[in-house]
Copies of this chain bind each other. A is one copy, B any other.
Amino acid sequence: MKTSIATVCLSGTLTEKLHASAEAGFDGVEIFEPDLVAAPESPEEVRALAMRLGLTLDLYQPMRDVEGVSEEQFADVLRRAEAKFALMHRLGMDLVLCCSNVATATLDDDEVSASQLRRLGQLAEGYGVRIAYEALAWGRFVDDYRRAWRIVQLADHPAVGVCLDSFHVLSKGHDPSGIEQIPGEKIFFLQLADAPALEMDVLSWSRHHRLFPGEGDFDLRRFVGHVLRAGYTGPLSLEVFNDTFRQTDARQTAVHARRSLRWLEDALAQEAAADGAASARDDVRPLTPAAPPTSFDFVEIKAEDTSHVEAMLLAAGFTRRGRHRTKPVVLWSAGEARVILNEQHARDLAPHVAAVGFAVADAAAQTARARELRTPFAYRRAHASEETLVAVTAPDGTEVYWYGASEDEPAWTAEFVDGDPTTEGEVTSIDHVSLTQPWQVIDETVLFYRAAFSLEPAGGTDVASPRGLVQSRVLRTPDRAIRMPLNVAPPIVAERGAGSGLTQHVAFRCRDAVSLAREGRGRGLDILSIPANYYEDLQARFDLPDDTIAELRSLNVLYDRDATGEYLHFYASAPGRAFWEFVERRSGYDGFGALNAPVRLAAQDSGRNHA
């Protein structure tokens, strides 16, 4: 499908935006007027640059406050409009967005608005321009696409049609199915934006919090389905006002934006296939299907010195499985939990999650899908005799590998030599991997895992740390084989570089957390101390037996309960950073002990201060 992006979605100057859009593979752009007004390039230069870059200039936007006004005011509207139509002619553009009046409307009358749009259309026609009229969600009188369409019908002019914007329809809770009543050729343009479900005034919501498709809570698949069934033949175009994207590198944002439309196109194709119907349009291309990962294959930890991690793994019952035949990495495992330690000659590099591996049903399909989504592939040297692991780099820099799932240990483990045989222990698998995200990339990260690996977002929460709120969002597979909480550290903590230790960790699933804590302690596992006050509060909250509380307290095991089950968990500290969690899930407990997180963060903070 043809794609377009409004220049307001991207950071930088107009020429930077055009370059970034073209490089990311967009077919066209919407020119946001303030970007042009502030540009030193003439309209002719902008037109020539777009042509050289292979970009069409799809929509000039916005013209404001053009209808619903007195005839005296309308004379000024026509004067203003004519200047813009002449400008569009110089740009070689033929479509302008006119949004419903916000500021100057005094006449709440469809006939008046229609008459004024008709005359605007007559003027536009002379310049080869068409008018796409859009109901803003905060329009003074016209704030519903159905009314905008009635007005366009009344205007009854070939140069006057509607522009549909998913935000303006869905933010108001308007039923989008009425779109199918509009003839496709009268839908002049389609603008797409996702958004989180927020309760706030719709103007602020729109100006600051729009997201690319797949990152928010709007059902864009359904919305666009209606538009395509109406017979719309134009591009899918993104118009996303967002405080973050205004600041971040335009090239990266454009790639990310383009990926969101590729994901949406696939969703449209899947829906048509599921309905057993052909797509409403024959240019809707699916991605190569790839089932969600079936488990964590491994995590890779990089550090200047991994010896503290090795001591921790040993105390937790892990086995050293050996050194890789050709690469300077070591494998440790316990059950199906595999940890690769990778020492780097990098001064003071603290242990961190450098990579996660997913077991997938069809590695080749996964690779094809990742390519189609233009995820950046990571370089990894492999010798001829070795298994090929493919990886992409997530927006936060973490490398994500995949490898064909198997009943037995994956074949790549045979490349590790001179190690010990596995033994049965308490730890069975990797339960979840919690990654710290810079605030600039959290939305992009959600889309990355969703589009490439079919992880689904499952709500978010704020967790209080002693140094600020940590924003947490969870990604997971439907069967919970993969759970990845993503945490955004408070900006000041993040600036100090102290954030990742507080909010990034690998959690291992175990059979019996209390037994593992006791055994681990015996083997020297350094378990994070939890204050006595916590256990007194726990007793008040849950009315657990005294001896249970005493046992948990003596072992520093935390406890939580939800509607279905229980969660027992504890943390292993490493000098300066606590990095490892051990969890026992009973009877289908589905959370992460959110109520315990502030206590854990405070305990880590106090450990950090003393370190």
A: which residues have CB within 8 A of B? 11-13, 33-34, 36-40, 42-43, 76, 79-80, 83-84, 87, 198-201, 204, 207-208, 243, 246-248, 439-440, 462, 464, 466-469, 490-493, 495, 529, 531-534, 536-537, 539-541, 543, 598-599, 601-603, 605-606
Residues of B within 8 A of A87 (CB): 536
For A493, list chain B residues within 8 Å (CB): 247
CB distance from A528 to the nearest CB of B (A): 12
Contact B246 A490, beta carbon cutoff 8 Å: yes
Q: What B residues does A539 contact at CB under 8 A? A: 83
Cβ–Cβ contact B34 & A598, under 8 A: yes
CA distance A42 to B603 in the complex (A): 15
CB-defined contacts of A247 to chain B, threshold 8 Å:
467-468, 490-493
The interface residues of chain B lying within 8 Å CB-to-CB of A467 are 11-12, 246-247
Task: Say how far A14's CB is from chain B's closest CB, in angstroms.
Answer: 9
Whether B84 lies near A540 (C-beta < 8 A) is: yes
| Docked pose: A158 CA to B558 CA in angstroms | 39
| Closest B residue by C-beta to A80 | B540
Q: Are A243 and B38 in contact (CB under 8 A)?
A: no
Q: Which residue of B lies closest to A46 (CB)?
A: B533
Query: A492-B440, A495-B495, A533-B38 are known contacts. Are A13 and B468 too (CB-CB below 8 A)?
Result: no
CA distance in complex: A468, B467 (Å): 26
Chain B residues with Cβ below 8 Å from A439 are 491
Q: Tell me the smallest distance from the CB of A292 to a CB of chain B, in Å.
A: 32
Partner of A34, one of B12, B40, B464: B464
Could you tell me the distance in whole angstroms from the C-beta of A422 to the nearest C-beta in chain B? Answer: 38
> Which residues of chain B are within 8 angstroms of A34 by Cβ–Cβ distance?
464, 598
User: What residues on B are CB-neighbors of A204 within 8 Å?
Assistant: 198-200
Are B43 and A533 closer than 8 Å at their CB atoms? yes
Is B38 within 8 A of A534, CB to CB? yes
Q: How far is the CA of A33 from the CA of B599 in the complex (A)?
A: 12
Copies of this protein chain in the complex = 2
**A606: B residues at CB distance < 8 A:** 13, 40
Shortest distance between the CB of A535 and any CB in chain B (Å): 10
Instruction: Provide 8 A-B residue pairs closer than 8 Å at the C-beta atoms, listed in order of the A residue.
Output: A12-B467, A33-B537, A36-B533, A38-B598, A39-B602, A80-B540, A247-B468, A247-B492
Provide the bound-state CA to CA distance between A11 and B493, in Å: 12
A12-B467, A246-B469, A469-B243 known; A491 and B491 CB under 8 Å? yes
A601 contacts which chain B residues (CB < 8 A)? 38
Contact A38 B531 (CB under 8 A): yes
| B contact residues around A469 at 8 Å (CB) | 208, 243, 246
New A-B pairs, 7, CB < 8 Å, besides A33-B537, A38-B466, A80-B541: A12-B466, A13-B602, A79-B543, A87-B536, A246-B467, A247-B493, A440-B492
A490 / chain B contacts, CB cutoff of 8 Å: 243, 246-247
Shortest CB–CB separation between residue A99 and chain B, in angstroms?
17
A58 to chain B, nearest CB (A): 20
Q: CA–CA, A201 to B87, complex, Å?
A: 43
Partner of A38, one of B13, B198, B208, B603: B603
**Interface contact B533-A39, CB-CB below 8 Å:** yes
- Nearest Cβ on chain B to A197's Cβ, whole angstroms: 10
User: CA of A581 to CA of B494 in the docked complex: distance in angstroms?
Assistant: 36
Question: Are B468 and A243 closer than 8 Å at their CB atoms?
Answer: yes
Distance A464 CA – B83 CA, assembled complex (angstroms): 24
Residues on the B chain within 8 Å of A531, using CB = 37-40
Kindly list chain B residues whose C-beta atoms are within 8 Å of the C-beta of A80.
540-541
**Given B33, B243, B466, which contacts A13 in the complex, CB threshold below 8 Å?**
B466
Closest 10 CB pairs of A and B: A200-B200, A199-B201, A38-B602, A247-B468, A83-B540, A247-B492, A246-B468, A37-B537, A40-B531, A247-B490
- CA of A493 to CA of B244 in the docked complex: distance in angstroms? 11
CB distance B37 to A534 under 8 Å? yes
Which residues from B are CB-within-8-Å of A466? 11-13, 38
Considering residues A38, A39, A466, A605, which has the most beta carbons from chain B within 10 angstroms of its beta carbon?
A: A38
A606 to B35, CA, bound (A): 13
Determine whether the beta carbon of B83 is less than 8 Å from that of A536: yes
Q: In the assembly, what is the distance between CA of A468 and CA of B439, in Å?
A: 15
A243 to chain B: closest residue by CB: B469
Cα distance A531–B605 in the bound complex, in angstroms: 52
Smallest CB separation, A551 vs chain B (Å): 19
Partner of A533, one of B42, B79, B440, B529: B42
Once bound together, how far apart are the Cα atoms of A200 and B204, in whole Å?
A: 10
User: How long is the Cα–Cα vector from A36 to B440 in the complex, in angstroms?
Assistant: 33
Q: Please give, as numbers and ranges, the residues of chain B lying within 8 Å of A200 by CB-CB distance.
A: 198-201, 204
Q: How far is the CA of A262 from the CA of B490 in the complex (A)?
A: 30
Alpha-carbon separation in the docked complex, A529 to B601 (Å): 52
User: What are the residues of chain B within 8 A of A602 when measuring CB–CB?
Assistant: 13, 38-39
CA distance in complex: A495, B492 (Å): 11
Give A202 Cβ to nearest chain B Cβ, in Å. 9
CA separation between A40 and B534, bound complex, in Å? 9
**In whole angstroms, how far apart are the Cα atoms of A302 and B490 in the complex?**
32
Residues of B within 8 A of A541 (CB): 80
Contacts of A543 in B (CB 8 A): 76, 79
User: What is the distance, in angstroms, from A465's C-beta to the closest C-beta of chain B?
Assistant: 8
A200 to B199, CA, bound (A): 5
Cα A43 to Cα B532 in complex, Å, equals: 10
- Closest B residue by C-beta to A605: B13
Say yes or no: A42 contacts B83, CB within 8 Å.
Answer: no
- Report chain B residues within 8 Å CB of A540: 79-80, 83-84
